A = this chain, B = another copy of it.
Amino acid sequence: VPPGETQLVERFFLHLGAVRTDVPLGIGDDAALLRPAAGHLLVQTTDSLVPGAHFLAGDAPRSLGHRALAINLSDLAAMGAAPAWALLSLTLPEADEAWLGEFAVGFGRLAREHGVALVGGNLVRGPLNIAVTLSGQVPEGVALRRNGAAAGDELWVSGSPGEARIGLRLRHPELDAAAGRARLQRAQPDEPQRAALIARWEYPAPRVALGQALRGLARAAIDVSDGLQADLLRLAGASGCGALLEPDEFPVSAALRAAAGSEAWRELLAGGEDYELCLAAAPGQGPRLQAAAAACGTVLTRIGRLVPGAGLALQRDGGVTQVSDPGFDHFAR
């Protein structure tokens, strides 16, 4: 007799993630009971991983468990929220215990790292689909929205955007092509660089601590999941501004340089799958921003500023060029 849904949930998902004292009742009843912190707003997001769109059959289930949580952690990070409680809706073609075990390892490790408890979920038979809902909390009045910035604010980005997208291209050229972005000429990275770039795609590190450190420092923030250019333009648009970027200032990593050569700055801008944070802050906040990033084990790099108007312009080689790109969209290809 194969194990049933209840047995699978008990074996792989009960008590997964962090132990939290604000969970009076977790998995096992009709719903979970959770105790919100006084003086805080609840912050909720849901995001899913679907084969053909976000990964391919045969991808490591440990990576999928990690990514399914990471993409949601990144959304909360972009709001300045502290993550707390996750629910998992998992559709699986069969009761594959080896797959479930590896998925749970990937999900559970990242959950414990960020203090997230898995408090509910469901498991159904059908075409593979991984949907996670994540709730967190932020003190009233300090959440980072997209629309709080103004012309003159400086634009910053965390970490090394662009690498994850190259990693995806190296791992799954067909998935990269399906996303419809221009593929740029590039050099061939060596094997260690190649492995590091693929790992950036398979195991993104959401900027959870940094998001919280940016409360009161950033005036607007967004996570870079669809590419720096696309997401930056959402922040600028929500704030009623355009963006003027300086590619010479972009944080091009050695691996990205090795993979993309002189086009590295374009890869960094088109990117996607990075789960870095892009933010706008008043001029003069640079030292405080960089100190906050260093305390969180990452870097923030100033890449340009918000300007009156709309759209994206690049300041480069002494001139300014206007750019247009609709960014990535699952349904408009």
Q: Check A78/B31 contact, CB under 8 A, given A124-B50, A125-B330.
A: yes
Interfacial residues of chain A within 19-38, with CB under 8 A of chain B in the complex: 24-25, 29-36, 38
* A293 interfacial by beta-carbon distance below 8 Å: no
Per-residue contact bits, chain A 119-144, to B (CB 8 Å; 1 contact, 0 not): 11111111101010101101000010
Assembled-state Cα–Cα distance A35/B95 (Å)? 39
Q: Looking at the complex, which one of B4, B133, B223, B326 makes contact with A329 (CB distance below 8 Å)?
A: B4
Assembled-state Cα–Cα distance A123/B46 (Å)? 10
Closest to A146 in B: B29
* A91 interfacial by beta-carbon distance below 8 Å: yes
A50-B91 in contact (CB<8A): yes
* A290 interfacial by beta-carbon distance below 8 Å: no
Least CB distance, A14 to chain B, in whole angstroms: 14
Q: Which of A81-89, A103-111, A195-203, A240-248 contacts B (4 or more CB under 8 A)?
A: A81-89
Assembled-state Cα–Cα distance A222/B6 (Å)? 16
* A182 interfacial by beta-carbon distance below 8 Å: no
Contacts of A36 in B (CB 8 A): 36, 40-42
B5-A330 in contact (CB<8A): yes
Interfacial residues of chain A within 71-96, with CB under 8 A of chain B in the complex: 74-76, 78-79, 81, 85, 87-89, 91, 95
A44-B120 in contact (CB<8A): yes
* A102 interfacial by beta-carbon distance below 8 Å: no
Q: Check A34/B45 contact, CB under 8 A, given A53-B125, A123-B330, A332-B1.
A: no
Residues of A within 8 A of B (CB): 1-8, 24-25, 29-36, 38, 40-48, 50-54, 74-76, 78-79, 81, 85, 87-89, 91, 95, 119-127, 129, 131, 133, 135-136, 138, 143, 145-147, 221-223, 238, 326, 329-332
26 contacts across the A-B interface (CB closer than 8 A): A1-B332, A3-B332, A4-B332, A6-B329, A7-B332, A29-B145, A29-B146, A30-B78, A30-B146, A31-B78, A31-B79, A35-B41, A36-B40, A36-B41, A42-B42, A44-B87, A45-B87, A46-B87, A46-B120, A48-B89, A48-B122, A53-B125, A53-B126, A89-B131, A123-B331, A129-B131
